[in-house]
């Protein structure tokens, strides 16, 4: 009996330590995100680089034509960028509409479709006359000055730059939650990280790379799901710095239904666990031997609890321990972690999210959307038991919104 109590006590302490570290980790970067990041102010070289705007899409007939048209509307010199649509499994009518536009259309077909395969196939065809590869999703809409701002970042010597991806639509409660989640991640893992001297996280779109550097790096990226995670870990392992431009905006469609939300999160969670296993020891080695804390920080993020799960679990434990303390004090005395510790951790969660959520979301629609948070928490929690094989198959998120 004593041995069992000892084991349960150890498990309780480990669980608290795991969640509490996750909370104070995001609190640190959330507070940092309230400040302005110090960026390079002196240009290394001024140039109008030639951009390849690469837009891979799988069965994206509903949005791709309008997205391609909007991608052409940049204030950047039209002769200095090409819009390259990589069409996988598009309808004939869609392909004909794309051919009528002043873009480069590349048709691809794979036994197993992946974003990395599509990008590699496109770069093999368009050649090496470009300076920068700019990656968009098939539903993304760039603000008119997006390419211009990206080019200015490359003037300062960066090889990898992540733009500010934000919600295109907030038309359902789940879309609002997804939009808030995106902005929280922007605040913590991109802006907050840059303020403290770490690299920005990549998102998977709205990001730009030195073309030759990207082409050679992508040749070794074989991910089926979460290609941006493998790419990011590879870049940080090799000592590259990822810049973040908070004022370079690209609009992204947010998921509108619970089932799509669940599938998307399952894919992301699976990818994180896979890459944690793959890069854990190299992350430890790089930290100890080279002092590469940037890479080790990213490896930790692969095993850190997702924000919705983190907030939900801490809330459940904080409330539960208080209830036991009030109604069953004799049982409460058996806990190894005192209720006060859970309450402090819960308070830290609240502060972290208050710092990270943009003020534009402080409205009635968000309050209504918050009522679906328990469902979102349940879906993510259940996803933890359905991760096996999720990173070995392509899970497509269908898009259909052009304007917010």
What residue segments make up the domains of the chain, in order of their start? Answer: 9-35+273-389, 51-170+197-255
**pTM recorded for the entire structure:** 0.89
Residue for token pair 């690469």? 54
Q: What is the pLDDT of residue 127?
A: 92
Q: What is the mean pLDDT of residues 111-125?
A: 90
Bridging pattern class, strands 81-88 and 51-58: parallel
Q: What is the pLDDT of residue 64?
A: 96
Tens digit of each residue's pLDDT (9 = 90 or more) over 167-183: 998 888 888 988 999 99
Across 109-123, 286-300, 303-317, 383-397, the highest mean pLDDT is recorded for 286-300
Q: What is the mean pLDDT of residues 304-313?
A: 89
Beta bridge partners of 207: 135, 162
Q: pLDDT class for 402, splitting at 50, 70, 90?
A: very low
Q: How far apart are CA 355 and CA 369, in angstroms?
A: 19
Range scoring the smallest mean pLDDT among 72-81, 110-119, 181-190, 370-379: 370-379
Tens digit of each residue's pLDDT (9 = 90 or more) over 341-365: 999 999 999 999 999 999 999 999 9
Q: Are 57 and 138 in contact (CB under 8 A)?
A: yes
CATH architecture of 51-170+197-255: Alpha-Beta Complex (3.90)
Q: Which residue has the higher pLDDT, 162 or 369?
A: 162
**Helices marked H in 127-249:** 146-155, 173-185, 193-195, 211-218, 227-237
How much is the mean pLDDT over the chain? 88
Reduced to 3 states, what is the DSSP secondary structure of residue 371? coil
Torsion on CA atoms 203, 204, 207, 210, rounded to nearest 10: 130
Q: How far apart are CA 47 and CA 152, in angstroms?
A: 9
Range scoring the smallest mean pLDDT among 78-87, 125-134, 195-204, 257-266: 257-266
Task: Judge residue 210's burial from the number of C-beta atoms within 10 Å of its C-beta, 0-12 exposed, 13-18 middle, 19 or more buried.
Answer: buried
Q: What is the pLDDT of residue 265?
A: 66
The alpha carbon of 92 is separated from its chain's Cα centroid by a whole number of angstroms, namely 32
Range scoring the smallest mean pLDDT among 19-33, 142-156, 228-242, 257-271: 257-271
Q: How far apart are CA 23 and CA 310, in angstroms?
A: 7
The helix (H) or strand (E) run that includes residue 119 is helix 115-126
Q: Are 233 and 199 in contact (CB under 8 A)?
A: no
Residue for token pair 């302490």? 13
State yes or no: pLDDT of 315 exceeds 70. yes
Question: Any idea what the Cα angle at residue 22 is, between residues 267 and 291, rounded to 5°?
Answer: 95
Q: pLDDT class for 384, splitting at 50, 70, 90?
A: low
């Amino acid at each position: 009996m004593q041995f069992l109590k000892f084991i349960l006590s150890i498990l309780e302490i480990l669980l608290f330590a795991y969640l509490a570290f996750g909370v104070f980790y995001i609190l640190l970067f959330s507070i940092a995100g309230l400040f302005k990041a110090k960026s390079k102010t002196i240009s290394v070289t001024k140039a109008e680089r030639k951009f390849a705007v690469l837009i891979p899409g799988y069965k994206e007939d509903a949005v791709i034509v309008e997205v391609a048209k909007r991608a052409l509307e940049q204030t950047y010199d039209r002769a200095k960028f090409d819009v390259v649509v990589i069409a996988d499994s598009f309808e004939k009518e869609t392909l004909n509409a794309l051919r009528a536009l002043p873009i480069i259309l590349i048709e691809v077909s794979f036994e197993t479709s992946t974003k990395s395969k599509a990008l590699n196939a496109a770069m093999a065809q368009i050649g090496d006359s470009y300076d920068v590869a700019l990656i968009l999703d098939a539903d993304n809409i760039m603000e008119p000055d997006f390419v211009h701002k990206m080019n200015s970042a490359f003037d300062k010597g960066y090889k990898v730059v992540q733009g500010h991806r934000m919600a295109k639509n907030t038309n359902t409660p789940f879309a609002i939650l997804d939009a808030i989640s995106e902005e929280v991640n922007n605040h913590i893992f991109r802006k907050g990280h840059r303020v403290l001297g770490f690299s920005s996280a990549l998102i998977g779109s709205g990001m730009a790379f030195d073309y030759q550097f990207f082409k050679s790096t992508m040749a070794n990226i074989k991910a089926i799901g979460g290609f941006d995670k493998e790419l990011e870990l590879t870049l940080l392992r090799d000592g590259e710095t990822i810049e973040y431009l908070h004022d370079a905006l690209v609009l992204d469609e947010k998921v509108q239904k619970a089932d799509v939300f669940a599938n998307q999160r399952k894919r992301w969670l699976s990818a994180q666990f896979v890459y944690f296993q793959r890069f854990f020891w190299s992350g430890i080695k790089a930290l100890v031997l080279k002092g590469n804390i940037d890479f080790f920080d990213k490896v930790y993020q692969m095993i850190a609890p997702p924000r919705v799960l983190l907030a939900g679990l801490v809330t459940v434990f904080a409330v539960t321990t208080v209830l036991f303390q009030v109604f069953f004090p004799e049982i409460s005395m058996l806990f190894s972690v005192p209720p006060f510790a859970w309450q402090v951790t819960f308070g830290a969660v609240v502060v972290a999210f208050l710092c990270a959520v943009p003020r534009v979301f402080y409205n009635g629609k968000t309050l209504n959307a918050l009522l679906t948070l328990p469902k979102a928490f349940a879906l993510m929690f259940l996803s933890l038991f359905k991760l096996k094989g999720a990173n070995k198959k392509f899970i497509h998120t269908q898009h259909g919104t052009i304007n917010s």
